[in-house]
Amino acid sequence: MTSPATEPVQLSNRPKRADALRNYEKLIAAGREAFTEADRSASLEDIARRAGVGIGTLYRHFPTRTDLVQAIYVDEVEALARSAEELAETEPWEALTAWLHNFLGYVATKQALAEELFAVDDPERQAVFSGCRSMLYGAGEPLLRRAQEAGIARPDVTIADVIRLVGGIAKMPADDPEDTRRVLAIAVDGLRYRGE
């Protein structure tokens, strides 16, 4: 099974100093909250206020709104990758399906961030997207491979197939999030290996 490969990219620029790291993490949390609410046009001043820091502190960490959006996006990708590592000792099928449900939630809530980042024509940002994609493929591929090796998942699918499948389901219009989870459960059942 192969997945798209790219050159490694420095995805996050977390500060090393403890006080700076605390402020950085507060800003990421406040931005995540602001950008996932119904109104995605929160001002940087509002985000600084939510984080309990001054606007100068925000600008030291994130000189532009796009820098903040990118940092939140990368933080979410890194969390999703860590969740795959945390599932590594779980039974193979359960680990794969749990991660795919995590992935569904990630895609559903992060579309606005991705749209804002894609709107910026900047090769560095495109490299970050590419690095994020590689990180997600790298996180999910071992889970899929374990399920395939256990004879539970179809051997003819790749992690790229699975990620496209779940991404498409996450983007379908649905009034109730439960509808999306139900459709994912149906699709994931199609990944099961049924034998010859």
8 A C-beta contact, residue 81 and residue 136: yes
Place of tokens 């680990």: 95
Whether residues 104 and 130 fall in one domain: yes
Q: What is the DSSP string of 128-157?
A: HHHHHHHHHHHHHHHHHHHHHHTT-B-TT-
Same domain? For 51 and 83 the reply is no
Q: Are residues 52 and 83 in the same domain?
A: no
The CATH number assigned to the domain holding 23 equals 1.10.10.60
Summarize pLDDT for 50-82 with one digit per residue, the tens: 999 999 999 999 998 888 988 988 898 999 999
pLDDT digits (tens, 9 = 90+) for 9-49: 445 667 767 888 899 999 999 988 887 755 567 889 999 99
Domains: count for the chain: 2
pLDDT digits (tens, 9 = 90+) for 75-112: 989 999 999 999 989 999 999 999 999 998 888 667 76
Rounded Cα–Cα distance for residues 157 and 28 (Å): 35
- Based on the fold, state whether residues 135 and 166 are members of the same structural domain: yes
Residues 110 and 149 both lie in one domain: yes
Q: Are residues 83 and 41 in the same domain?
A: no
Clarify whether residues 110 and 176 are in a common domain. Answer: yes
Q: How far apart are CA 14 and CA 22, in angstroms?
A: 10
Backbone Cα Rg of the chain: 18
Alpha-helical segments (H) within the chain: 18-35, 44-51, 55-61, 65-86, 92-118, 123-149, 159-171, 177-189
Identify whether residues 139 and 87 lie together within a single domain.
yes
Inside any domain, residue 8 = no
* 46: containing domain: 13-63
- Work out the average pLDDT over 129-134: 88
Q: Does one domain contain both 91 and 50?
A: no
Q: What is the pLDDT of residue 40?
A: 65
Residues 158, 2: contact at Cβ < 8 Å?
yes
- Say whether 55 sits in a helix, a strand or coil: helix
Q: Do 121 and 167 lie in a common domain? A: yes
Q: Which residues pair with 153 in a beta bridge?
A: 192
Q: What is the pLDDT of residue 3?
A: 43
Confidence band for 6, pLDDT divided at 50, 70 and 90:
very low
Q: Which of 22, 44, 63 is the last residue of a domain?
A: 63
What pLDDT does residue 7 have? 39
What amino acid occupies position 16?
K
* Nearest-angstrom CA–CA distance, 69 and 90: 33
Q: Which among 58, 84, 81, 83 has a CA at the least distance from the CA of 71?
A: 58
**Residues 171, 95 share a domain:** yes
